[in-house]
Amino acid sequence: MKLTELRVNQVETPMGFQITPLSFSWKVVEAGEAKRQKWAGIRIWRNAGQEKEKIFDSGQDENADSLDYQVSLDLAPRTRYTWQVQVTADNGETARAESWFETGKGQEAWSGHWITADMGADTPAVLQRRFTVAGLEGVRKAAGAVASRLYICGLGMYEVYLNGEKVGSEYLAPGYHSYDFHLQAQTYDVTEYLREGENEIRIWLGDGWFRGRLGFDGGYTNLYGDRCYAIAELYVGEEPVPVVMTDADWESKESPVVFSNIYDGEVYDANLEAALQVSEGWKGVRTEIPDRCGDLCDRYSLPIVKKETFPVAEVIHTPKNETVLDFGQELTGWVEFTGCLPRGMQIRLTASEIMQDGCFYHENLRTAKTEFTYISDGKERTVRPHFTFYGFRYMKVEYLDQDGAPLETASEFWALPAAAFTAYHLRSDFDQIGEIRTGSDKVNRLFLNALWGQKDNFLDVPTDCPQRDERLGWTGDAQIFSETACYNMYMPAFYRKYLWDMRAEQSILGGSVPNVVPRLKEGMVAEHGSCPWADAGVVIPWNVYLHYGSKMLLRECYPGMRDWVECERRREEALGGPHLIKDGFHFADWLALDNEQPGPFGATDPLYIASAYYYRCAKSVAEAAAVLGYEEDRKKFDGLAEKILAAIQEKYFDQEGLCICHTQTGAALAIAFGLIPERAGTKLEGAALRARVEANDMHLNTGFVGTTILSQALTATGSHETAVSLLLGEDFPGWLYSVNLGATTIWERWDSVLPDGRISPEGMNSLNHYSYGSIEAWMYRDVCGIRPGEAGYRRAVIEPHVDARLKFAEGRLNTSAGLFKSGWEYADDGTVTYRVEVPFNAEAEFVLEGERRILPAGNYAFVHKEKSRQ
């Protein structure tokens, strides 16, 4: 028996994170004959030099919850804590493991001051300070102590260097959050970067999301501030005061990053680095507080790091005499290269998603230039961007002279070979927990496409797309994909930060949820309260609770969940009832194909969709209140949900109990949300839904709302074969249409690329929009059959649905409770072999053609003769 994945607030060994309230979790693996936990115990020590002071001991706790063991402690700032968990199983076997967490500044006042370069606001700057350190050897020998730490925040983005070395593996810090509500400080272990005697610290600053352009049609600049800032404190050992901090004694000079922007890219002039090495020419700094920002606090955001690398898959020489590097996968990040170019020569990389007529193309990225330009100083270097990122599969390579004029041909003497270029995928530091394989290579590619859509768009916020002039945290996309996201990756810490920002934005909108989080306070993206975008305020935290089982996080999110439903209640009651949404702009079934009128809006009544989500959210808030023991709220929102449901059934269902919105989405919503009156039953609505799919030549015509639930609704009403037929559809509009055209991510529209390989003239064609990747939730839930029976999978429901066309399906899900596996394989004689694995201290309710059996921890195989599913 072995303990793994020891986490504090859903993060392994967190340093400088927001640590209150405090929750511990762990997993048991390699349990052997052990099936259940008998008891567990937690001990916590405060580290002080080589000594440890025990501050908590739970004893043998038979009720210890490995998903969310909450402890109430007063934690000191800037302090390392060691914790140990011990688990004893039902067979007497015991396992023990130890880990640590470390607080940041917490509520401690900052000695450092906010500083900004004493130069023009539009001049990118490097900030510098020299300082002296003595006695480092003794500090490094103090085992268990907090050796040397840097606490820092830079606005908009920053990188920090100590004695010429970049500190840490994090990029694009401090990330993208609602800066007007809070600023997140990062903590770095700098012990190995310091040296005895004189040291030098430099902070490089870029505009980032803080003051660079964001939004459509050219966007807005200076949204949170019109200058770049930094604040920092560096402590050596356990000294109570910093050895250096940001103050008026710092210096500033123009940065080699002469331009950077999220959308347009970066220009790096290596010749300016020489100026940083001389003492002349440095200017002063100003101490001033950013006046449009919230308080400085410990971080919520996971670090943005390099997760995967890609060599050049192919060098393409186009009919236009372009050189284009194909990395074989659409990804978010950047390209680095190593080599030497003549002094003054420039190399420009331009990112794109697709080629057209064999040539480079990026017009679908609208006004985003997506370039990286490097101006050489004649030295051998490894070169990368600093304060931008790209969504791309292709990079066009151009060589320019010192005046910026393109060189017609690249001399073999200095042109860089393909091996010099490497693409790095960047995202927030979370990892994959789910995987599906089937007997269809194309379905397997579809799974990877949706997975990559999540990888590419979950860079500190769940963006709509990572490449064009948008890259915003649209709440509708995030809501629709959240169940799939929780299946694919370990997401609670990522969502904790996003939902904090969401609640902050709600606080000035009467509980309404913005269309975009963080909310741009300018233009169309400042709007709020639109279904099903705003419903993210309830749907996401409830999905996070169901999948990971953290009551701590649910309690933290509950006020925002409640406030959104209360906002809707006040609005509909002000219009006279009867508990229906009756007005407002709603995206509703966005980009559906069933509307005879041109435009992006679906044919399903948006007020029906909004009222259905109103019901779903009220019901979820009632369930959350029950989990948290808020009995008065449970009764209140249960009652409200019942009234909403009755009103929906009265207005939107006919005498036979069928939904009067005669669309695929209308029926799917009725089934998936449980809206159907008792007099009808789901079979009748399910038959109507299947008939609509068949009448559409076995194609879907749904948008954001319907696509997410269509397959689940078909399977739930006995039409699983129809759902699989949709999955296997290879022409437009079908899941495999894009796969057949070589897609490696999910597209914004079903036909963003036409059969001839050309971008659709409809416009708004991102080739990396993850929303329709939400089909994966159905693949996990219904094809492989894995879903939570209790929050966090302490009990799972395993109810697979087979189809001979897929041949087999295998699902692996490393849940908060442990690794579940569920798979099946179809034989020629119609028999199906089912295989199930249930982890330690969990159980599964295995459902097969209506027969239910409880499976404790262990491995199981069942052979069954399958009946017709339709």
Kindly compute the dihedral angle of the four CA atoms of residues 435, 502, 461, 617, in this order, to the nearest 10 degrees: 30
- Catalytic residue (one of 748, 776, 799, 837): 748
Considering only CA atoms, which of 771, 784, 845 is closest in space to residue 434? 784
Prior bond of 856 cis (ω within 30°): no
Q: How many CB atoms lie within 10 A of CB 549?
A: 25
CA distance 767 to 745: 7
72 phi/psi in degrees, rounded to 5: -100, 115
- 426, 301 Cβ separation under 8 angstroms: no
CA distance 128 to 232: 12
- Catalytic residue (one of 470, 483, 623, 837): 470
Considering only CA atoms, which of 264, 392, 382, 395 is closest in space to residue 323? 395
Active site residue 470: yes
Question: Which of 124-134 are b and which e, b meaning 16 or more Cβ less than 10 Å from the residue's Cβ?
Answer: bbbbbbebebe
CA distance 257 to 237: 33
CA 287 to chain centroid: 35
Query: What's the 3-state SS for 336-350?
Result: EEEECCCCCCEEEEE
Distances (CA, A) of 704 to 601, 743, 768, 773: 10, 20, 15, 10
Active site residue 137: no
Kindly compute the dihedral angle of the four CA atoms of residues 325, 326, 331, 333, in this order, to the nearest 10 degrees: -10
CA distance 298 to 185: 5
Please list the residues that pair with 189 across neighbouring strands.
149
Residue with tokens 């070395």: 165
Please list the residues that pair with 348 across neighbouring strands.
373, 398
- Number of H helices and E strands in the chain, helices first, is 16, 40
CA distance 266 to 530: 35
Query: What's the 3-state SS for 593-638?
Result: CCCCCCCCCCCCCHHHHHHHHHHHHHHHHHHHHHHHCCHHHHHHHH
Query: What three-state secondary structure class fits 392?
Result: strand
Q: How many CB atoms lie within 10 A of CB 97?
A: 17
CA distance 285 to 299: 26
User: Which residues are marked as active site?
Assistant: 470, 748
